[in-house]
Structure 1
Amino acid sequence: MNSDWFQGLQREVANSTKADVARKMGIKRSRLSCVMNGLGAYGSGAASTASIEQEYRRTFENVECPFNGNAVRIEFCRESALCSAPTHNPRQMMNWQACQKCSHKPKQIEVITLKKSLKRVPTEPVQQAGIIDKVTLPLPEVGAPQIADQTNQEAA
C-alpha cells in the first residue's frame, strides 16, 4: 500500500511494537498484523482497510493549526474546515477563514468517502407536545347517565 496513512502506520510500528500500536488504536494485534502483512481477506482485497485507516488517523494524526499554533486532532481540523461559516462569532469566523486556506483542508473526495463510511441510525419520530388527542372520548357531564350504567340496564 502506498497511501500516507499506511506509511505512517509502518513508522509507528517501527518505533514501537505491533502490540502497542494495536492497543493504542483499540484493535487486535492479529488484525493489525494481517493488514500490515497483506494476509487473508486484506491481502486479496476482499476486506476494506477503511476502518483501520480511520482508527490510525484518530489515534496518531495530529496537525499543527496555522491559526492558533496548537497541535489539533485531524477530526477537529476537518470539522472546522468543512462546517458552514459561523457568522455568529467573529473569532470562529476568523478561524474558519484560515481553515479554508489551510493545506490540511480535506478534498471533496475525502468528504464523500467519510460520509459514505458513516452508518445512519434510524430514528423514531419525536412526538410533539401539545398535539390534541382526537381518539379519546369526551368526559360525560356531571349528573348525566354514565355509559356503563346504560349497558347494564339494557342487558337486564
Structure 2
Amino acid sequence: MTMTLPHPEYDAQFYESVPLKRLIAFFVDIVLIGLISAVAVLALTLFTLGLGIFLTPMLVLLISFLYRWRTIAVNSATPGMAFMGIELRNRAGHRLSSQDAFIHTGIFVALTLTLIGWIATVISIMATDRHQGLPDLLLGSVALNRPAD
C-alpha cells in the first residue's frame, strides 16, 4: 500500500498545534525519564555501596536513549507524544521502524546534548512547513497529529 505524508497546506489538520504538542510531549518524557532514572540510580547506588552514583550521567543518557528508541519503535511515539496525540511518520507516511527509531533517537540525543543543537532543532520545528526538527529533516520523518488509521 502506497502512502504519502499529508500536505501541510491541504491537510493542515495533521500539523495544527504540533510544535506546542511536541514541546509538552518533550517535558512529559523528561519527567518520565527522570523518574525511571532516579529509581535506577538509587538501585545502582545501593547495589554498589555508593560508588554507582558516579555513573549517573551515563545511566541517565542510556535510559533516555532506550526509552525513546523503544517507545518510538513500538508505537511511533514516545509516551509524551502519545499523550499529546502525535506520532512520527517516515517520508512514505508509515510509522517508524525500529531502525528508523534508532537513528532518529541517536540524532535527537546527540543534538540535545548541546544547547546549540537543541536551539537549532527548535528553530527548525518553528520554521519548516511540516514543523520538522533536525532529526526529522535528516530522516525525512515528520510528527503529525495522530491520524485515524
TM bin, normalised by shorter chain, reads: under 0.3
Q: Which structure's relative contact order is higher, taking Cα pairs within 8 Å and 6+ residues apart?
A: 2
Considering only CA atoms, is the larger Rg found in Structure 1 or Structure 2? 1
Instruction: Please give the TM-score of this superposition, normalised by the length of structure 2.
Output: 0.28
Instruction: Please give the TM-score of this superposition, normalised by the length of structure 1.
Output: 0.27
